[in-house]
């Protein structure tokens, strides 16, 4: 349909990543929950973390996964550099442990990967993997 993109762009909100973010919500809700609750937006395409937060903050919105073929995603890794302080390793151990993984999962994140989880065991052993 000729002109459809321009019409959509003219009426679409860009609450994040746009040139002019909306004002902060007085109730302290995320921009997604506030705009849906206020009737200014009917739908948001956002990542899982933002969707989970909006659903927790407002009873009306619901999160629906888009088909796998068009999903975008990010992968997060964690490592400790040689010579780092013991507290750095302790933090990574926490993140990779049961409580850290549960906290990440509650926010919509998958388990972080370590450099060794992406390599063969032989190559990984040569890189002094995380404990």
**3-class DSSP string for 11-53:** HCCCCCCCCCCCCCCCCCCCHHHHHHHCCCCCCCCCCHHHHHH
What is the pTM (predicted TM-score) of this model? 0.52
Closest CA to 22 of 38, 6, 1, 4: 38
More confident residue, 126 or 59: 59
Mean pLDDT confidence for 48-69: 82
pLDDT at 85: 92
**pLDDT tens profile 113-122:** 666 554 444 4
């Amino acid at each position: 349909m000729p002109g459809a993109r321009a019409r959509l762009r003219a009426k679409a909100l860009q609450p994040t990543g746009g040139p002019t973010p909306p004002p902060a919500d007085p109730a302290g809700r995320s921009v997604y929950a506030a705009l849906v609750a206020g009737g200014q937006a009917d739908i948001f395409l956002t990542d899982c973390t933002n969707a989970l937060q909006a659903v927790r903050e407002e009873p009306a919105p619901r999160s629906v996964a888009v088909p796998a073929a068009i999903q975008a995603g990010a992968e997060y890794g964690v490592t400790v550099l040689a010579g780092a302080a013991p507290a750095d390793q302790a933090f990574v151990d926490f993140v990779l442990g049961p409580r850290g993984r549960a906290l990440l999962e509650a926010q919509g994140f998958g388990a972080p990967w370590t450099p060794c989880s992406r390599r063969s065991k032989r190559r990984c052993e040569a890189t002094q993997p995380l404990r």
